[in-house]
Chains A and B, each alone.
Chain A
Amino acid sequence: MSDLIVVESVSKRYVTSSGPIEALHDVSLSVGAGEFCTLIGPSGCGKSTLLGMLGGLVTADTGRLLVDGRPVNGPDPGRVATVFQDAGLFPWRTALENVEFGLELQGVPRERRRAVATELLGPLGLRDFAEKYPRELSGGLRQRVAIGRALAIDTQIILMDEPFGALDEQTRLLMGEWLLDIWRRTRKTVVFVTHSLHEALALSTRVMVMTARPGRIKRVLELPMPYPRAMESAEMVALRATLWSGIRDESLRAMGER
């Protein structure tokens, strides 16, 4: 088995005040090393829950999750790093200190972690912002710092939970190009959650469409075409239509449930 991430018939149920909610139902998938794998689906379909499980922040009710052949058992910053939707930067730390955070937790000596973080900032386009506090940074730059923080602990896998969800469309497009560049240079394995069809098609090697609650994998799209992708080409437009037709019904169902 060469797959880096294996998810086998995982289910998850939440108990809320208005009764139990089945977030995930019998989900199985696998992700190979170096892939950029995207989960897309309507709001509340359990994408973030699934990502939380891979990160060890959420436990599965049934089924099992393997990373690199070993079961996930709580957060494991040695193998998996996570980027959250609203950046989650520590407001009392500068950009540089935020990037250092994971290394600091692991007890890496001060000079060493500072060197690692400083070296990272250049390619991330953050060199001029090292000493800035999060409140002084734009949304896009904050998200770059959050991604830098994940890259700093140098894990094989990076999980991204709608990292660009809070950004405006133009910033989003630029951040997508930037992320693609970073990913192609570092060759990390990325599991990416998004609502954006464009993001999914422009970035991924594989897209998995999830159903409305309870979440299941509805279909998988392989995208072997090279980067950067001409999004206006007939091929991509057709793919976009296919993808949308898969998601549209689910989004309608999810809307109706509210």
Chain B
Amino acid sequence: MAAERVRIVALQVVSVGVLLVAWEVVARAGWVDALFVPAPSAVAGAFGRIARSALAGLGDTLLKTAVAYVLSVVFGVAFGVAIGSVRALREVLSPFVVAVYGMPKILVLPWIVLILGFGTAPAIVYGTIHGFFPILVLVMGGVRDVDRTLVTVARAFGASTWQLYWKVLLPAIVPTVLAGMRLGVVFCLLGVLIVEMFAGVRGMGHVMGSLANGFQAPELFAATALVSAASIAIVLALDVLNDRLSHWRG
């Protein structure tokens, strides 16, 4: 087992290394236009140059994402539990939820920008819309799939409606909520970045859009790597949280 693990890590390291070296060689040899595909060494050098503006932009983007994320989780879980657990609401509203969930949000982006203007507000609203629906749909499903026996047990032991929610339904959907939170954060970040690219005045999306328009490929690649790393770090952190909080799961 340990030997296999070493082999796999070695394979990962070697492949990434080979890829970078090959890329460097191809770029240096001039087989691709360095204007579009800069060598890894050039990208590494660009980190230093963009560090200040990119870090500020990343901070701005993550702040907006955080606000959108909190709103998505709070509203997604609240509406998900309400719609999922009240039968009349579920029957009447689910087709609407499914329809809006399935609709590409990009189509309403111009409209949101038209109404809210450029800047922070449309980014937060659009990021919230992006995060809200997947969480809502997941939580609704989670509530529907709660083991009916557990509800019957609680009723048999005299649980009040409040206790049914608090001691059965909510603990039972914790894994679903965590899964939704993991999914939702990527969607929120996606929404915020799209607005910043489309109509941003600040933030990482705006920075990357400007770099692309200015044909600053090394800087753009560096910025892309930075956002990707931040996003991966956030998701990994949520995974750790997920493992901690649902230790009772099989």
Contact = CB atoms under 8 A, between A and B. Distances in A.
B167 interface: yes
Interface string B209-250: 000000000000000000000000000000000000011111
Interface string B150-167: 101111111110010001
A79 to B, nearest CB: 10
B71 interface: no
Contact of A91 (B153, B167, B249): B249
Interface string A77-90: 11001101010101
B157 A57 contact: no
Contacts of B172: 90, 92
Output the residue of B153, B159, B160, B247 with the most chain A CB within 10 A.
B153
Given A88-B149, A92-B172, A105 B159 contact: yes
Contacts of B168: 90
Interface centre among A82, A134, A149 (most CB of B within 10 A): A82
Contact of B152 (A88, A105, A134): A88
A92 B167 CA distance: 10
A61 to B, nearest CB: 20
B156 A57 contact: yes
Report, as a range, how many residues of chain B touch the other chain.
Answer: 20 to 34
B59 interface: no
B171 interface: yes
B41 to A, nearest CB: 51
Contacts of A56: 156
B156 A55 contact: yes
A34 interface: no
A24 B168 CA distance: 31
Prevailing SS type, chain A contact patch: loop
B174 interface: yes
A75 B248 contact: no
A242 B147 CA distance: 39
B155 A75 contact: yes
B53 to A, nearest CB: 46
A243 B79 CA distance: 54
Contact of A75 (B150, B158, B174): B158
A interface residue count range (under 10 / 10 to 19 / 20 to 34 / 35 or more): 20 to 34
A224 B147 CA distance: 40
Contacts of B246: 92
Contact of A105 (B163, B249, B250): B163
Interface in A8-62: 55-57
A90 B171 contact: yes
A149 B159 CA distance: 14
A135 B163 contact: no
A215 interface: no
A101 B167 CA distance: 9
A88 B150 contact: yes
A104 interface: yes
Given A57-B152, A84-B149, A92 B248 contact: yes
A65 interface: no
Contacts of B163: 105
A104 to B, nearest CB: 7
Contacts of A77: 156-158
A92 B174 contact: yes
A75 B167 CA distance: 17
Contacts of A134: 248
Given A84-B149, A90-B150, A92-B172, A75 B249 contact: no
A88 B159 CA distance: 15
B132 to A, nearest CB: 26
A138 interface: no
B195 to A, nearest CB: 38
B149 A105 contact: no
Given A90-B171, A92-B171, A75 B157 contact: yes
A82 B156 contact: yes
B167 A105 contact: yes
Given A88-B152, A133-B247, 19 more contacts: A55-B156, A57-B155, A75-B155, A77-B156, A77-B158, A81-B157, A86-B149, A88-B147, A88-B150, A90-B172, A92-B172, A92-B174, A92-B248, A101-B154, A101-B157, A133-B248, A134-B248, A135-B248, A149-B157
18 contacts: A55-B156, A56-B156, A77-B158, A82-B153, A82-B156, A88-B147, A88-B152, A90-B150, A91-B249, A91-B250, A92-B246, A101-B167, A102-B157, A105-B158, A105-B159, A105-B160, A133-B247, A133-B248
Q: Which 7 A-B pairs have the closest CB atoms?
A: A77-B158, A135-B250, A88-B149, A88-B153, A82-B156, A102-B157, A133-B248
